[in-house]
């Protein structure tokens, strides 16, 4: 099967017009993953490590999260009722957005010599804006501080979840991880 209609040549074919709609323009690629060691983290304190790629959040994810957490408020799971609600549709649980942090952080940073990474907790978490289901989010990460602990270090990461097409972040907070050597 020919790729072009019969008699048409790629050299004479009219160019395909490019969209001027910002939503249809190619998005910049996320900052490449940074690979370092536990000792190397010390030189990265105060550094913005980059952004992840954009990730859509689907109604199926929200429904699964609601089932797992037993948080089945209508604003998250009842598509018909939510259409008439304050946001015009269902919204993502704040904690679902937040729960993406560890897996998204892996797109930005890898600590090669850590035998274990321990989720030590969270500080100052806020959900400043709702996330409509079907939206895309990405994570920006900064290494805020680092302290020595038994067997490794404890790192504090400033997290900013961005909602595509919006200026206001949808989730901010600080994630504490311990990188341990065995």
State how far the Cα of 92 lies from the Cα of 15, in Å rounded to an integer. 41
State how far the Cα of 46 lies from the Cα of 108, in Å rounded to an integer. 15
| CA 103-23-88 angle, 5° bins | 80
pTM, full prediction:
0.79
What's the pLDDT score for residue 27? 52
Domains of the chain are 34-57+92-180 (3.10.129.10)
Q: What is the pLDDT along the chain (182 residues), one digit of tens a residue?
A: 344 445 554 344 444 444 455 455 445 544 447 889 999 999 999 999 999 999 999 999 999 999 999 999 999 999 999 999 999 999 999 999 999 999 999 999 999 999 999 999 999 999 999 999 999 999 999 999 999 999 999 999 999 999 999 999 999 999 999 999 98
Beta strands in the chain (DSSP E): 34-36, 48-51, 55-56, 109-111, 116-126, 136-149, 152-163, 171-180
State how far the Cα of 82 lies from the Cα of 88, in Å rounded to an integer. 6
What's the pLDDT score for residue 175? 97
What's the pLDDT score for residue 182? 85
Token reading at 124? 């100052």
Backbone dihedral angles phi then psi of residue 71, each to the nearest 5 degrees: -100, 85
């Amino acid at each position: 099967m020919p790729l072009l209609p019969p008699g048409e040549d790629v050299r004479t074919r009219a160019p395909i017009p490019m969209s001027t709609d910002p939503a249809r323009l190619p998005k910049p690629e996320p900052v490449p993953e940074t690979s370092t060691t536990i000792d190397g983290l010390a030189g990265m304190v105060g550094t913005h490590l980059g952004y992840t790629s954009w990730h859509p959040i689907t109604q199926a994810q929200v429904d699964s999260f609601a089932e797992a957490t037993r948080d089945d408020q209508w604003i998250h799971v009842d598509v018909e009722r939510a259409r008439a609600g304050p946001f015009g549709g269902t919204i993502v649980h704040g904690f679902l957005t937040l729960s993406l942090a560890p897996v998204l952080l892996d797109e930005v940073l890898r600590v090669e010599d850590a035998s274990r990474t321990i989720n030590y907790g969270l500080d100052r978490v806020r959900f400043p804006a709702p996330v409509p289901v079907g939206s895309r989010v990405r994570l920006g990460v900064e290494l805020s501080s680092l302290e020595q602990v038994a067997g490794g270090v404890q790192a504090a990461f400033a997290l900013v979840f961005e909602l595509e097409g919006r200026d206001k972040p949808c989730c901010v907070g600080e994630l504490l991880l311990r990188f341990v050597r065995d």
